[in-house]
């Protein structure tokens, strides 16, 4: 059995244990915050991957229907209404827009193509925007604020 040698040493080990528990709890809180930030970054990366896949999907549809792409039948703005399903290009846009809204929160898509000029490279731009939680790394965003993230891709059709 241990005995205290000095009356001033009583409770000292209890104080040491309390400090150790406090330091451990701060460390565990830090690990929990790191886990939350990692999950948010992973979700943002997943959204960017989905947006890239959706943009490449539309480029593939446009390549498969080049005459309509050259005729500027695929042009649509972010705020434009979804067209009817009368032509293949309209069905492609409708399906694409539905996929965007189903896979990305607040997702919208736009397509811009210049007028077709023979012997010139025909480059179209696809823009996809969605709502995402920000990590506060940009100068105009705060941590945990929801803001619009935009992916813009260009390719030759």
- Phi/psi of residue 10, nearest 5 degrees: -65, 135
Q: What is the pLDDT of residues 62-98, one digit of tens each?
A: 999 999 999 889 999 988 888 887 899 999 999 999 9
Rounded CA-CA distance 12/9 in Å is 6
**Residue 128 half-sphere exposure, CB side, CA atoms within 13 Å?**
28
Which DSSP string do the residues of 76-91 spell out, in sequence order? B-TTSPPP-SSSHHHH
For the cut 70, the answer to whether the pLDDT of residue 143 exceeds it is no
Structure tokens at 103: 């896979």
pLDDT of residue 120: 81
Task: Assign 141 a pLDDT band (cuts: 50, 70, 90).
Answer: low
Residue 80: name the closest of 35, 127, 119, 18 by CA.
127
Structure tokens at 51: 């947006």
Q: What is the pLDDT of residues 109-118, one digit of tens each?
A: 999 998 877 8
Residue 96: name the closest of 57, 130, 123 by CA.
57
pLDDT of residue 157: 84
């Amino acid at each position: 059995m241990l005995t205290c040698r000095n009356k001033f040493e009583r409770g000292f080990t209890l104080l040491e244990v309390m400090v150790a528990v406090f330091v451990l709890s701060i460390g565990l809180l830090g690990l929990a915050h790191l886990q939350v930030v990692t999950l948010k970054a992973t979700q943002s990366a997943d959204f960017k991957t989905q947006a890239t896949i959706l943009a490449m999907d539309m480029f593939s549809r446009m390549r498969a229907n080049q005459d309509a792409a050259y005729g500027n039948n695929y042009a649509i703005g972010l705020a434009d209404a979804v067209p009817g399903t009368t032509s293949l290009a309209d069905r492609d846009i409708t399906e694409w827009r539905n996929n965007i809204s189903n896979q990305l929160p607040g997702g919208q898509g736009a397509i811009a193509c210049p007028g077709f000029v023979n012997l010139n490279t025909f480059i179209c731009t696809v823009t996809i925007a969605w709502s995402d939680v920000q990590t506060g790394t940009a100068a105009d965003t705060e941590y945990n604020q929801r803001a619009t993230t935009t992916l813009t891709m260009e390719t030759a059709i």
